[in-house]
Structures are given as C-alpha cells and as structure tokens.
Structure 1
C-alpha cells in the first residue's frame, strides 16, 4: 500500500470517527435538551401548584378574616344589647323605688332581699345568728328596725333558728338591695342589685344571643 493510499485510509477512518463523535454529541445534546425540557415542565407544574395553593390559602385567609369580623360585630352588638338591658333595669329601679313593682312596694322588695340573704347564711343552722343588714344611704328610708324584727321572727318561725337582724351603721354604694353579714364578718351574702345583675348576666347573655344572633352560624 502506497503513501497516498495510507493517507486516504487515515482520512476515511478519521471521518468515520468524526461522524461517530458528532452523532454521539448530537444524541447527548438531544438528551440534555429533553432533560431540560422535562425539568422546565416539572418546575412549571410546581410553580402552578404553588400559585394554586397560595390562591387557596389567600381565599381561606379572607374567609377566616370575614368570619372573625362577623363574630366581632356580633360580640359588639351583644355587649351593646346587654349594656342597654342592664342600663334599662337600673333606670327602672328608680321608678320602682317610688311606684313599686307588680303591687310590691320597694320596702317589700328590700324585705324579700334581706330575708333571702339571711336564709342563705343560716342555711338550716339552729344556732343563734346575729346578722347585720347593710344598705345604701339612699335606701335607708326603706329599711327600718321594725321591718327587720318582723323578718327575724318569720325566719325563726320557719327555720327554728334564733336569728336577729340589725341595721348596720355602715353604708354601701349601690343602686339598691342589701348585704347581710354575720357580726364577725366571716360570712356575707351580697344581694345588691348590681350583684344580682351580675349573676343573671350569663342567662341574659344567652337569651340575647338566641334572640338576635342565632342566624350567625359561623
């Protein structure tokens, strides 16, 4: 084989090798492009899913905020109604002191509050009890020693106790009602209007909620 033929063979082999390399390079490039395309699709899908999640989360956040605001408005309206109801009751008390209530004079109402408080203190005890009746300065004209003696006699007759109610010189700041306290001050029952309102506020709140806010099923 001559030199020319040898050179030609080398060129042919080189061309074959070159084509092989080019083919492999193209195939690798094609694979890389396909991998990149798939990766782009994956990232695109993830981005869309993330945006959808953010959209759902934003909607949920808006709904939660709306519900919270609705509840707050309900609570505000509820508190306003309770405040108005209590205010009306306090205003009504001023009329009760002069006109009575359902045929009962205010003195009679005070007698009932005093008796209830005293009965709570003795609670079935047969021992003697010296009890002080504490009222506001405004109510001093409605509670007299004679009335307290009558209440004491009724309690003693009903319970078999030996109770003596005395009007205390101490005065409380109250719109109405009484505090009955043992002489030693260890036991007391607060039967003032304010305290009774506080005890009734829970049921009052329930009534208002049922009446006004039952439709707020949030």
Structure 2
C-alpha cells in the first residue's frame, strides 16, 4: 500500500477510533447517570416504603395503646360498678334488718316518711299502706302526724290504715280516691335516690 493510501486509512481509523471513544464515553456517562438515577430512585422508593412501614407501625402502636387504655378503663369502671352495687346491697340488707325491728330509729323513720308523703300530697283524707308488722309500730303515732300535717298544709288531714303491702319497710300514702299516691317504701326510695347516692358512694369508695 502506498504511503498516501496508508495515511488515508490511518486517518479513517483514527477518526473512527475518536468517534468510538466519544460514543463509548457518552454511553459510559449515560450508564453512570442511569445508575445514579436508579440508585436515587431505589433509595427514594426504599425511604417511601420504610416511611410507610413506620407510619403503619406507629398507627398500629397507637391503636394497641388506645385499645389497652379502653380495656383498662372499662375494667376499672366494671370494678367500681361492682363495688358500688355491693355497697347498695349491704345498705339494703342493713335497712331490711333495721326495718324488721321495733327500734326507736325505725319508728321515727316511719313517722317521717308518712309525714313527707302526706305533705307532698297536700293533706286531706289519706290512706296509709304498710307491711303487716309495721301497723302496730305506727298506729299510736297517727293522731300526732294528722295534726302535724293539718298544721303544715292548712288542710284537715286524717289517716286510715289500708291493706297491707309487701315491702322491706316504709309506707305508701294515697288519697282516699286513689288519684294521688306517693310510694315511700324503702325499695322505692332507694331506687329514686340511687343515682345521687351512687355519686356519693363513689366519692367515699374512690377518694
């Protein structure tokens, strides 16, 4: 090959080599860019996955804590309710015990609940209903209570002992016509005052 031809071939090869080098360099740069972007994307996606997992874990943790607190509170309330009910049961048993006696305390209580009911009705011709055992305990007090209610209401008041009732103790007072009735038995009073008493018992038990 002549020196001229060799030079031409050499130039062509040199140009090709230069172009190839440029292409290779460019490809390497693009590859590097792609790899870097891939790393960034992978890192970003990984962080997103991790962040999502952390959020889910935190949500689950908060849910478990919330449930635990609710269960703890429910059990606490159930325990308190049980203690309060037990207190009422004991109070009921003690009242029943007192009501089975002819003690001055119970007779005075009977007089008070008769007077309270009669005053609430407004006096007049009234019927008093008691358990059989209590009739003798209050009978001698009736005249004094009639006078007291007459003075309080300005309405002449008389009492008639009516039919016996089943009760722990206390009375039911009603007008002779039966239109108005006040239930002042121990059971009825306990039921009426239970809400207020529950609050007071809770204060004593859990102060």
> What is the CA–CA distance in structure 1 between the aligned matches of 2:37 and 2:205, rounded to whole Å?
64
**Which structure has the greater CA radius of gyration?**
2
- Tell me the matched-pair count: 205
1:116-174 superposed Cα distances (whole Å, 9 cap, x missing partner): 1121222xxxxx63333333456455454x64443222100222123333333373x43
Bigger helix fraction? 2
**Runs of 5+ unmatched residues, structure 2:** none
Give 1:23's match in structure 2, choosing from 12, 22, 25. 25
Alignment map for 1:32-51 (pairs within 5 Å):
32-51=34-53
**CA contact under 8 A between 1:82 and 1:205: conserved in structure 2?**
yes
Alignment map for 1:45-60 (pairs within 5 Å):
45-60=47-62
Report the secondary structure of 1:162's partner residue: coil
> What is the CA–CA distance in structure 1 between the aligned matches of 2:136 and 2:176, rounded to whole Å?
23
**CA contact under 8 A between 2:102 and 2:137: conserved in structure 1?**
no
**CA contact under 8 A between 1:111 and 1:151: conserved in structure 2?**
yes
TM-score, normalising length: structure 2: 0.77
Aligned to 1:125: none
> What is the CA–CA distance in structure 2 between the aligned matches of 1:7 and 1:46, rounded to whole Å?
57
Report the secondary structure of 2:124's partner residue: strand
Report the secondary structure of 2:157's partner residue: strand
1:104-125 superposed Cα distances (whole Å, 9 cap, x missing partner): 2x33322211111121222xxx
Alignment map for 1:98-117 (pairs within 5 Å):
98-100=100-102, 103-104=104-105, 106-117=106-117
> What is the CA–CA distance in structure 2 between the aligned matches of 1:207 and 1:176, rounded to whole Å?
23
**CA contact under 8 A between 1:179 and 1:190: conserved in structure 2?**
yes
**CA contact under 8 A between 1:115 and 1:151: conserved in structure 2?**
yes
**Runs of 5+ unmatched residues, structure 1:** 123-127
Give the 3 Å change call, closer, same or farther, for CA 98–136 of structure 1 in structure 2. Answer: closer
Pairwise CA RMSD: 3.1
**CA contact under 8 A between 1:82 and 1:204: conserved in structure 2?**
no
